[in-house]
Amino acid sequence: MAKKRIVSGMRPTGRMHLGHLHGALLNWKDLQDEWDCFFFIADWHALTSEYANPAIIKQTTYEIIADWISVGLDPEKCTFFIQSEVKEHAELHLILSMITPLPWLERNPTYKEQLKELTQKDLHTYGFLGYPVLQAADILMYKANGVPVGEDQAPHVELTREIARRFNYLYKTQVFPVPDVILTPTSKLLGIDRRKMSKSYGNAIYLTDPPGEVEKKVSQMITDPQRKRKTDPGDPDICNVYFYHEIYTDPGKVSEIAASCRAARIGCVECKKIMAQSLIKGLEPIREKRRELGAHMDRVKEIMVAGNRRARAIAESTMEEVRQAIKMPSDL
Ligand code: TRP
Ligand code: SF4
């Protein structure tokens, strides 16, 4: 039986960090054997907020794909492509925008939140309001059965489901399957300042940070904020450093660290040193693969060309069906 399909994308705002790794990429990797995977760079989505400063978008696209491959996403199993290289996304976005009621977009929680938070940028644009419509086009284009995303993106997939149903209903068709949300468990790992890891906060540890950089960042990490002195007992359950131990340090050692922390037998400086070494060791295979790929970026480019082509073929065929459904077939 043919595998069911999933589609997910990322905006190219920078190189991949641990937030991406544990919040998306490792989950994608787990899914790649069971599903027909389409993973793409949402560069037009990046333009909704970076429209005044678009150079960064193109620059990072290939770096990101190389990062994806380095963590073990397999181009033999997954189709990687670039949104703006499949122009049909723009056409489907346009058509879906005709049938999407404005209130569906205006009540979108992510939209409201970002308008409030990203005040340095003017996001009162047509394109930004329509962000989820473009996302629906990305997903429906490939007739995805599932969409692996984090909690923050779930409302967008809900909207996609509503748009799919509305399209099918209006045009009495079954062109679009209604895709399921495949929720990625939220990672406990935070940035070095204990906020969500993000390039814009400057608190990220990148997959390709050299060991010295990892050591430096880990040494700056905020631990249990209640623990002022080495003689105070700490609480690993609220310590970001400890969350990293849980993932990267040998399980036997982890329980020992927790006990020593609670008994004030280990200081945070020493604890961080141990964690930094575990993390460096854990990331080494990724760094190694990434180094190798970095010397052969033409290979990454070939993978993208092939992926774009595969995506385009599906997009062309879906758009034929969509044009038929809306009684506007191209007949010239
Ligand atoms: N909005 C998503 C994000 O910011 C990126 C994205 C664009 C996406 N199109 C998508 C995710 C389609 C899943 C499916 O992370
Ligand atoms: Fe966190 Fe380790 Fe310090 Fe305990 S000793 S508070 S686990 S950094």
Cα(332)–Cα(313) distance, rounded to whole angstroms?
20
Ligand 2: does its nearest atom lie under 6 Å from the Cβ of 176?
no
> Is the same domain home to 158 and 230?
no
Ligand 2: does its nearest atom lie under 6 Å from the Cβ of 254?
no
Task: Examine residue 198 and state whether it is found in any structural domain, yes or no.
Answer: no
Domain that holds residue 263: 209-291
Find the 175 Cα to ligand 2 centroid distance in Å: 54
pLDDT (tens, 9 = 90+) of the chain, 332 residues, equals: 789 999 999 999 899 999 999 999 999 999 999 999 999 999 999 999 889 888 888 889 999 999 999 999 999 999 999 999 999 999 999 999 999 999 999 998 888 888 888 787 888 999 999 999 999 999 999 999 999 999 999 999 999 999 999 999 999 999 999 999 999 998 999 999 999 999 989 999 999 999 999 999 999 999 999 998 999 999 999 999 999 999 999 999 999 999 999 999 999 999 999 999 999 999 999 999 999 999 999 999 999 999 999 999 999 999 999 999 999 998 77
Cα(1)–Cα(21) distance, rounded to whole angstroms?
30
> Is the same domain home to 252 and 307?
no
> Is the same domain home to 133 and 56?
yes
> Is the same domain home to 140 and 218?
no
**Residue 255 maps to which CATH number?**
1.10.240.10
> Is the same domain home to 306 and 272?
no
Angle at 262 between CA 258 and CA 263, to 5 degrees: 115
Query: In total, how many domains does the chain have?
Result: 2
- State the Rg of the chain over Cα: 22
Backbone angles phi, psi at 5, to 5 degrees: -110, 140
Which CA distances in Å does 168 have to 102, 251, 331? 19, 51, 23
**Residue 316 maps to which CATH number?**
3.40.50.620
pLDDT of residue 122: 84
The answer for residues whose C-beta is within 8 angstroms of residue 147's C-beta and 6 or more apart is 6, 7, 8, 139, 153, 157, 160, 179, 180, 181, 182
Task: Examine residue 248 and state whether it is found in any structural domain, yes or no.
Answer: yes
> Is the same domain home to 54 and 126?
yes
Find the 10 Cα to ligand 1 centroid distance in Å: 5
> Is the same domain home to 45 and 143?
yes
> Is the same domain home to 233 and 103?
no
Amino acid, single-letter form, for residue 10: M
Task: Examine residue 308 and state whether it is found in any structural domain, yes or no.
Answer: yes
pLDDT of residue 2: 87
In ligand 1, which atom is closest to the CA atom of 150?
15
pLDDT of residue 304: 96
Q: Which residue's CA is minimally distant from atom 6 of ligand 1?
A: 9
Q: Residue 36 pairs with which residues in a beta bridge?
A: 5
Find the 27 Cα to ligand 2 centroid distance in Å: 28
> Is the same domain home to 11 and 52?
yes
Q: Which residue's CA is minimally distant from atom 5 of ligand 2?
A: 268
pLDDT of residue 53: 86
> Is the same domain home to 285 and 303?
no
Task: Examine residue 59 and state whether it is found in any structural domain, yes or no.
Answer: yes
pLDDT of residue 56: 83
Coil vs helix vs strand at 5: strand
> Is the same domain home to 106 and 58?
yes
Cα(102)–Cα(125) distance, rounded to whole angstroms?
13
Global pTM value: 0.95
Ligand 1 probe mutation, 6, 10, 110, most atoms within 8 A of CB = 10
> Is the same domain home to 246 and 178?
no
Cα(38)–Cα(304) distance, rounded to whole angstroms?
12
141, 142, 147, 149: CA torsion to nearest 10: -60
